[in-house]
Amino acid sequence: MLKIDQIYKTFNPGTITEKVALQGVSLDLKEGDFVTVIGGNGAGKSTMLNAVAGVFPVDQGHIMIGGADVTRLPEHKRAKYLGRVFQDPMTGTAATMNIEENMALAFRRGKPRGLRWGITASERDQYREHLKSLGLGLEDRMASKVGLLSGGQRQALTLLMATLQAPKLLLLDEHTAALDPKTAAKVLEITQKIVDEQHLTAMMVTHNMKDAIAIGNRLIMMNEGKIVVDVSGEEKSKLTRRDLMGLFEKAAGKELDGDRLLLS
């Protein structure tokens, strides 16, 4: 479903702020794969996700989504393949527009936008049902501005919006990192449910080792712009945190840096 072939990315090349972010990343995701991506700060996790989303062009390599080469497509044209949820709950929704308007925008992802009315009555009923399934009571607040929602509510809504039109690939960029533990667990539960129900292919960046191990059928770990650990299937289901740290040390030739990764 997703094929990343030897991508490289350096930010601000030739300047003092030069940052080599990706150094030949390759990854092949099958349909229905749910891969978690873990690694220290600056390992290239989010950069890889953003490269797939088309936030910036890559220096080298190719990216294919569902058989289509998207390497040269701008961000808004890739959107038809992708559902995205961001780390900052403010990023995924338009705060000054109301819940149903946000959903109507997401419902038209990948379709031409013309001079038809922006939202129809039948859509509204459909959205209400979707919102009900979140169990957050948002179905009664469809005319409320999204800016009035809490971070957790906004992330849940963004998830719903990202999957309103089943995406070929769901990109989750630390989407629970800004939430308190209880809300994070709830949003993660909703994520799992939606991915299962729609049999989506998904890629989730996380700082939380426990989540990375518990969720999905495949786990990759990144270090210095490369994928250094890749486990899947049965091996992944038996994985412990200790195993993971051992794998990392063997692959990267150093100890896992003691940032928030270890603490969580």
**Least distance from C-beta 131 to another protein, angstroms?**
18
Burial (CB < 10 A; 0-12, 13-18, 19+), residue 234, is exposed
Q: By CB under 8 A, name the one of 4, 149, 188, 252 that touches another protein.
A: 149
Interface with another protein includes 75 (CB under 8 A)?
yes
Distance from C-alpha of 143 to C-alpha of 217, rounded to nearest angstrom: 38
Q: By CB under 8 A, name the one of 30, 77, 124, 238 that touches another protein.
A: 77
The stretch near another protein (CB under 8 A) out of 113-121, 207-215, 221-229, 233-241 is 113-121
Interface with another protein includes 82 (CB under 8 A)?
yes
Interface with another protein includes 46 (CB under 8 A)?
no
Neighbour tally for 154: CB within 10 Å: 26
Q: 133: part of which helix (H) or strand (E)?
A: helix 121-134
Q: By CB under 8 A, name the one of 68, 95, 166, 262 that touches another protein.
A: 95
Distance from C-alpha of 128 to C-alpha of 140, rounded to nearest angstrom: 8
The stretch near another protein (CB under 8 A) out of 7-15, 149-157, 195-203, 233-241 is 149-157
**Least distance from C-beta 109 to another protein, angstroms?**
5
Contact 220, 43 (CB under 8 A): no
Return the residues of window 155-174 that contact another protein according to CB under 8 A: 161
Contact 206, 174 (CB under 8 A): yes
Interface with another protein includes 177 (CB under 8 A)?
no
**Least distance from C-beta 127 to another protein, angstroms?**
14
If binding means CB under 8 A, how many residues of this protein chain bind another protein?
A: 42
User: In this structure, what are the phi and psi dihedrals at residue 21, rounded to the nearest 5 degrees?
Assistant: -100, -40
Which of 36-62 are b and which e, b meaning 16 or more Cβ less than 10 Å from the residue's Cβ? bbbbbebbbbbbbbbbbbbeeebeebe
Tokens of 215: 């969720």
Which residue lies nearer to another protein by CB, 90 or 228? 90
**Contacting residues toward another protein, per CB under 8 A:** 53, 75-77, 79-80, 82, 84, 86, 89-97, 101, 104-106, 108-111, 113-119, 147-152, 161, 179-180
